[in-house]
Amino acid sequence: MSTQEFNNPNTMMNPDIEKHLSVGNLLMEEEMDTQVLQMWSKKEIIAGRFYQTGFETIHFEQDKNFALETVLSSVIHWDKALLVLNSGVTDLNFNALSVFFDIIHHPSDHLDFPVIEQYLHTQHSLTHVLLNLSDTETLSDSDLEQLLQLINRRKLTLIVNCDSQVHGLNDRFMGAIDFMVGKIQHQRSFVIARRSKLVQAEGNSRNLNKDLYAYWQWSVRHRNAIIEPMCG
C-alpha cells in the first residue's frame, strides 16, 4: 500500500469497520446522544452543535474496552509513555499495548502524589495519564484538585475511563479531560475527544481496526461542510 493510500481514511477502512462504529442515523440517535452528553456536562448541549465546544463524539457498536484500546492505540506516540492510575478498575489487557509504548502502573488504590511526581521526574517520556474511575464518588475533591494541578503543570494528556454511569464529568474536571471513554450499554460505547488532540492522532494507530482518527473521519462524513465557529 502506498503512503498516500495509507493516509487516506477511506482507504484504511476495511469491511469490519461498520461493525464497530455507529454511523449515519444510528450515530445521531437522540436517546444515545442525550445520554452521552449528560454524562459529559450538566449544561444543555444540542448534539448537532456539540462540535462547537471543541470536542467530538464517536460512538461504537462495541464494548468499552474496544473504545479504550482504540484511544490508547491511536493517541500515544511510539516514543512516549502512559501512566495508568487505578489500573485494577479495568480488565483491559495492557500487555498487548506495551509493545508500542511504555506503560507505568501506579500500584496504589489511592492517588499517592509524591509517588506520581517521582514517576514524572524519572520518566521524561511520560506524556499521557489514564485515570480509571469505577465510581466518581471514590475521587475526592482534594485528590481531583491535586491531579488537575499536576496535569496542568506537566502539560499531560488526560484520558478518563468511566466504568459506571456519570453525570457532568467534564464540569467536575474543569474542562481538563482530553479523552473520555464510557459505555451506554454492554455493547455500546463512546469516546469524547478534544479535537485539537484528536487531529494529532492521524496516521498514528497501530491497528487499522482501532484507528480513532479514521473512525472520527468516517463518522463526520455527512456533516455539513459549512460549520459554525467554536463557542466561547
pLDDT tens track for 27-56: 445 567 788 999 999 998 888 888 889 999
Encoded amino acid at 93, one letter: N
Please check whether residue 179 is in contact with residue 71, taking contact to mean a CB–CB distance below 8 angstroms: yes
Chain centroid, CA 201 distance in Å: 11
Please check whether residue 166 is in contact with residue 139, taking contact to mean a CB–CB distance below 8 angstroms: no
Please give the share of the chain, as a percent, with pLDDT higher than 70.
Answer: 83
181 pLDDT higher than 50: yes
Q: Extract the C-alpha cell encoding 88.
A: 485494577
**Nearest-angstrom CA–CA distance, 90 and 86:** 8
Q: Across 6-20, 22-36, 85-99, 185-199, which has the greatest mean pLDDT?
A: 185-199
Tell me which residue of 116, 141, 140 sits closest to 129, measured CA to CA: 116
77-81, 155-159, 204-208, 225-229: range with lowest mean pLDDT: 225-229
DSSP state at residue 101: S
Selected from 3.40.640.10, 3.40.50.300, 3.30.110.60, 3.40.190.80, the CATH number assigned to the domain covering 3-219 reads 3.40.640.10
Please check whether residue 157 is in contact with residue 197, taking contact to mean a CB–CB distance below 8 angstroms: yes
The predicted model scores a pTM of: 0.85
The rounded mean pLDDT for the chain is 84
Q: Where are the domains of the chain?
A: 3-219
Please check whether residue 153 is in contact with residue 31, taking contact to mean a CB–CB distance below 8 angstroms: no
21-35, 46-60, 66-80: range with lowest mean pLDDT: 21-35
